[in-house]
């Protein structure tokens, strides 16, 4: 089993080294700056000593003739830290840790930093041991860095703790989701969530809401389907149990009703499974005529078709989907209309179906939504809606002047 | 027994009501919620057979309303909803029993009789009375091991009196159990059935309290 990973762990692994590296880089920069500044400070000090020595030499010459040149100016000649050497042309050269220098200015030689200046009749050389200077820098650095190390540890600890605390809503959110019962579709509490997580929780709640709605719809559908199927069966069984002279005729009528219900449920199932999205080719005129031929046999009234002299209307559509859509529209008009049914096909691909309608007529689109006492299944227009949507059609439903009508524009589906 | 059948599918209601009438029950049929509510409010039913999906609302709403009003009439839900959650919801709403369509009419009738007996506080099926053995569940009567043939109406009168055993039932009360709203009540029908029952069952089973009614002691 592969091990998972955690956001807190990943953030720790990425952020903590970066924080530590940043601190180390900062300390390094500070140490470098300190080294530079201390170096400058010491160089200035050397310059000061040398200039002071030159002044002393000048005053000695003007005040007291050829007095001995001072060799010590508060500096120990044998010091391994600082050495001042003043050389006169007529005097022996005192030993120094560095060799003979040929030009004025600062130079590094044999582990010493030396400043050389020429004065009247004398050469002044001031040297600092580089080791001593480094030691001074190191001491200063220690004073700066040592207190910073626990501070760095504190920063790392605080960073890690802050990250963990910041990530705790994620953990709580995950626990709330995973700790739920499978049937618990109530929305998650989003009040204490950070802005980054709230959209996720809101989306999750939206998802739960949709699942709940689907579950309710499924329960509703199953209950209605059970009613539609079991009730005719119960009727049939009761008829057969009670017997009587008309039991056969009544039984057949009940079976026919049951067959229609089963057929409608299967059609709705196919429509909702995406039958209308299947690719295919279908001639609208031919299918319309075939469906009308079947429906006319069962229709108590006339069904009139004005085909607009259109002989063929090839469409990019599944022929079964088209036939089911048309059949349900026509049956709905025949069953719920109160007069003739008229269909008119226009050359550009529009089809209008209309029927005389009762004053309280209404289009009932939801599955199993039907008028009280209606002998229908309440599925016809739901099937039409599902198929039309998948075919990319937008039916225009209208009830006006005592007629109910629907117009379908098949033009976008035309081939060629 | 007088029964209320609440069922919106007319074919089914017709078949079930016909069967129950053949069993000697008086059956009122209500095809929607409003009719059922009105009938239930004015008549004293031995049992109500209630569908759930009805024009005007759910049968459960009606049941809850009646139970909330203190009505204890036995209710048998007869529905196409077969899921266990529906069954639980029905029983929680106050139903006494639940049958799923399609159902056996004999079984339905037996359940109705059982619930009606319980509603009368007499759950026992078999009764020994004045040398008779009576099985109320099977709607049969024996004397000395020989079954006595009773018509469905005669049985209904006897069953109604057995349901109120030890208490006087007036003639209108007996008529109430024998006739539905749409039935034509014949003026002396109760007396005729009582007379026939006495001939078949013998003396000491049904007593007359003049001016008050009849009782089974």
Model confidence pLDDT, tens digit, residues A298-331: 788 889 999 888 989 999 998 889 999 999 999 9
What is the arithmetic mean of pLDDT over A155-160?
A: 87
Model confidence pLDDT, tens digit, residues A76-112: 656 778 888 888 777 777 777 888 888 899 998 888 9
Which residue reads 């039916």 in tokens? A395
CB–CB contacts below 8 A, A to B: 71
Residue B3: pLDDT over 90: yes
* pLDDT of B160: 84
Residue A291: pLDDT over 70: yes
Which residue of chain A is at minimal alpha-carbon distance from B108?
A238
Residue A149: pLDDT over 90: no
A218 and A107 together in one domain: no
Distances (CA, A) of A316 to A304, A345, A388: 26, 17, 13
Structure tokens at A389: 């949507």
Q: ipTM above 0.90? A: no
Among A146, A169, A188, the domain-final residue is A146
Among A228, A246, A271, the domain-final residue is A271
Model confidence pLDDT, tens digit, residues B71-90: 999 999 998 887 777 888 88
- Asked if B202 and B156 count as a contact pair (C-beta separation under 8 A), the reply is no
Which residue of chain A is at minimal alpha-carbon distance from B79?
A227
pLDDT band at A346 (very low <50, low <70, confident <90, very high): very high
What is the arithmetic mean of pLDDT over A208-232?
A: 82
A84 and A38 together in one domain: yes
Task: Give the number of domains in chain A.
Answer: 3
CB nearest to A230's CB, from B15, B102, B106: B102
CB nearest to B101's CB, from A230, A239, A373: A230
Is there a domain that residue A404 lies in? yes
Higher pLDDT, A221 or B90: B90
Cα separation, A360 vs A393, in Å, equals: 27
- Establish if A231 touches chain B: CB-CB under 8 angstroms: yes
Is there a domain that residue A401 lies in? yes
Residue A117: pLDDT over 60: yes
Is there a domain that residue A256 lies in? yes
> Could you tell me the residue range of the domain that residue A267 belongs to?
198-271
A292 and A254 together in one domain: no
CATH of the domain at A375: 3.30.565.10
The CATH class of B2-119 is alpha beta
The CATH class of B126-215 is mainly alpha
What is the arithmetic mean of pLDDT over A28-43?
A: 90
* pLDDT of A408: 95
A202 and A127 together in one domain: no
Among A146, A180, A211, the domain-final residue is A146
B12–A235 CB contact, under 8 Å: yes
A242–B19 CB contact, under 8 Å: yes
A205 and A255 together in one domain: yes
Mean pLDDT (chain A, rounded): 84
CATH of the domain at A227: 1.10.287
A288 and A334 together in one domain: yes
Return residue ranges of chain B for CATH 3.40.50.2300: 2-119
What's the gap in Å between the CA of B156 and the closest CA on chain A? 20
Structure tokens at A185: 């579709």
What is the arithmetic mean of pLDDT over A2-21?
A: 80
CB nearest to B11's CB, from A224, A241, A254: A254
A301 and A263 together in one domain: no
- Establish if B106 touches chain A: CB-CB under 8 angstroms: yes
Q: Three-class SS of residue A67?
A: coil
A41 and A117 together in one domain: yes
A285 and A398 together in one domain: yes
Return the CA Rg of chain A. Answer: 51
**If residue A122 lies in a helix (H) or strand (E), which one and from where to where?**
strand A122-129
Residue B155: pLDDT over 80: yes
Mean pLDDT (chain B, rounded): 86
Q: Three-class SS of residue A364?
A: coil
* pLDDT of B65: 93
Residue A60: pLDDT over 70: no
pLDDT band at A1 (very low <50, low <70, confident <90, very high): very low
Q: Three-class SS of residue A115?
A: strand
pLDDT band at B177 (very low <50, low <70, confident <90, very high): confident
Return residue ranges of chain B for CATH 1.10.10.10: 126-215
Which residue of chain B is at minimal alpha-carbon distance from A375?
B9
- Establish if A237 touches chain B: CB-CB under 8 angstroms: yes
Is there a domain that residue A323 lies in? yes
Model confidence pLDDT, tens digit, residues B40-62: 998 889 899 999 888 888 899 99
A222 and A309 together in one domain: no
Pairing of strands B26-30, B2-6: parallel
Cα separation, B145 vs A253, in Å, equals: 45
A242–B22 CB contact, under 8 Å: yes
- Establish if A219 touches chain B: CB-CB under 8 angstroms: yes
- Establish if A266 touches chain B: CB-CB under 8 angstroms: no
* Contact list, A238 vs chain B (CB under 8 Å): 12, 15-16, 19, 102, 105
* pLDDT of A2: 53
A282 and A266 together in one domain: no
* pLDDT of B202: 82
B101–A231 CB contact, under 8 Å: yes
Is there a domain that residue A73 lies in? yes
CATH of the domain at A60: 3.30.450
A245 and A290 together in one domain: no
Structure tokens at A215: 């579950």
* pLDDT of A82: 85
Least confident stretch, A8-12, A203-207, B178-182: B178-182
Best probe of the A interface among B8, B10, B12, B110, by most A CBs < 10 A, is: B12
- Establish if A254 touches chain B: CB-CB under 8 angstroms: yes
């Amino acid at each position: 089993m592969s091990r998972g990973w955690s956001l807190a762990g990943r953030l720790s692994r990425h952020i903590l080294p970066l924080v530590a590296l940043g601190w180390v880089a900062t300390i390094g920069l500070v140490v470098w700056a300190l080294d530079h500044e201390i170096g400058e400070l010491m160089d200035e000090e050397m310059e000061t000593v040398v200039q002071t020595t030159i002044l002393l030499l000048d005053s000695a010459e003007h005040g007291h003739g050829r007095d001995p040149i001072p060799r010590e100016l508060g500096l120990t000649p044998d010091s391994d830290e600082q050495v001042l050497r003043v050389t006169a042309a007529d005097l022996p050269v005192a030993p120094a840790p560095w060799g003979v220098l040929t030009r004025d200015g600062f130079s590094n030689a044999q582990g010493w930093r030396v400043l050389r200046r020429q004065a009247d009749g004398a050469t002044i050389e001031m040297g600092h041991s580089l080791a001593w200077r480094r030691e001074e820098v190191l001491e200063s650095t220690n004073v700066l860095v040592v207190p910073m190390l626990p501070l760095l540890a504190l920063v790392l600890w605080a960073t890690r703790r802050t990250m963990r605390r910041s990530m705790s809503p994620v953990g709580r959110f995950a626990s709330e989701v995973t700790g739920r019962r499978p049937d618990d579709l109530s929305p998650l509490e989003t009040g204490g969530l950070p802005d980054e997580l709230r959209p996720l929780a809101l989306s999750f709640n939206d998802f739960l809401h949709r699942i709940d709605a689907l579950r309710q719809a499924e329960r509703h559908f199953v209950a209605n389907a059970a009613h539609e199927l079991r009730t005719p069966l119960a009727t049939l069984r009761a008829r057969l149990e009670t017997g009587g002279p008309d039991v056969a005729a009544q039984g057949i009528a009940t079976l026919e009703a049951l067959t229609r219900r089963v057929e409608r449920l299967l059609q709705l199932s196919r429509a909702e499974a995406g039958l209308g999205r299947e690719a295919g080719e279908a001639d609208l005129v031919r299918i319309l005529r075939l469906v009308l031929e079947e429906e006319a046999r069962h229709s108590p009234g006339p069904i009139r078709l004005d085909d607009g002299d259109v002989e063929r209307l090839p469409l990019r559509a599944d022929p079964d989907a088209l036939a089911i859509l048309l059949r349900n529209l026509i049956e709905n008009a025949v069953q719920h209309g109160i007069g003739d049914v008229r269909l008119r096909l226009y050359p550009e691909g529009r089809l209008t179906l209309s029927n005389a309608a009762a004053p309280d007529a209404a289009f009932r689109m939801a599955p199993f939504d039907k008028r009280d006492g209606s002998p229908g299944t309440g599925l016809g227009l739901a099937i039409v809606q599902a198929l039309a949507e998948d075919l990319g059609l937008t039916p225009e439903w209208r009830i006006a002047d005592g007629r109910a009508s629907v117009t379908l524009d098949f033009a976008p589906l035309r081939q060629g | 027994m007088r029964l209320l059948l609440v069922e919106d599918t007319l074919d089914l209601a017709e078949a079930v009501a016909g069967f129950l009438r053949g069993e000697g029950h008086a059956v009122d049929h209500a095809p929607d919620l409003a009719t059922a509510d009105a009938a239930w409010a004015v008549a004293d039913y031995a049992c109500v057979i209630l569908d759930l999906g009805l024009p005007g609302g759910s049968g459960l709403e009606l049941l809850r309303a009646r139970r909330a009003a203190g009505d204890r009439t036995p209710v048998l839900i007869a529905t196409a909803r077969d899921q266990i959650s529906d069954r639980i919801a029905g029983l929680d709403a106050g139903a006494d029993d639940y049958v799923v369509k399609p159902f056996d009419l004999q079984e339905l009738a037996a359940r109705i009789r059982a619930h009606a007996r319980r509603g009368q506080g007499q759950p026992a099926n078999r009764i020994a009375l004045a040398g008779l053995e009576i099985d109320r569940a099977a709607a049969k009567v024996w004397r000395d091991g020989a079954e006595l043939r009773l018509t469905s109406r005669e049985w209904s009168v006897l069953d109604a009196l057995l349901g109120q055993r030890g208490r006087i039932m007036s003639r209108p009360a007996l008529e109430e159990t024998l006739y539905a709203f749409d039935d034509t009540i014949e003026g002396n029908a109760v007396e005729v059935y009582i007379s026939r029952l006495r001939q078949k069952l013998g003396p000491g089973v049904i007593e007359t309290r003049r001016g008050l009614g009849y009782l089974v002691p």
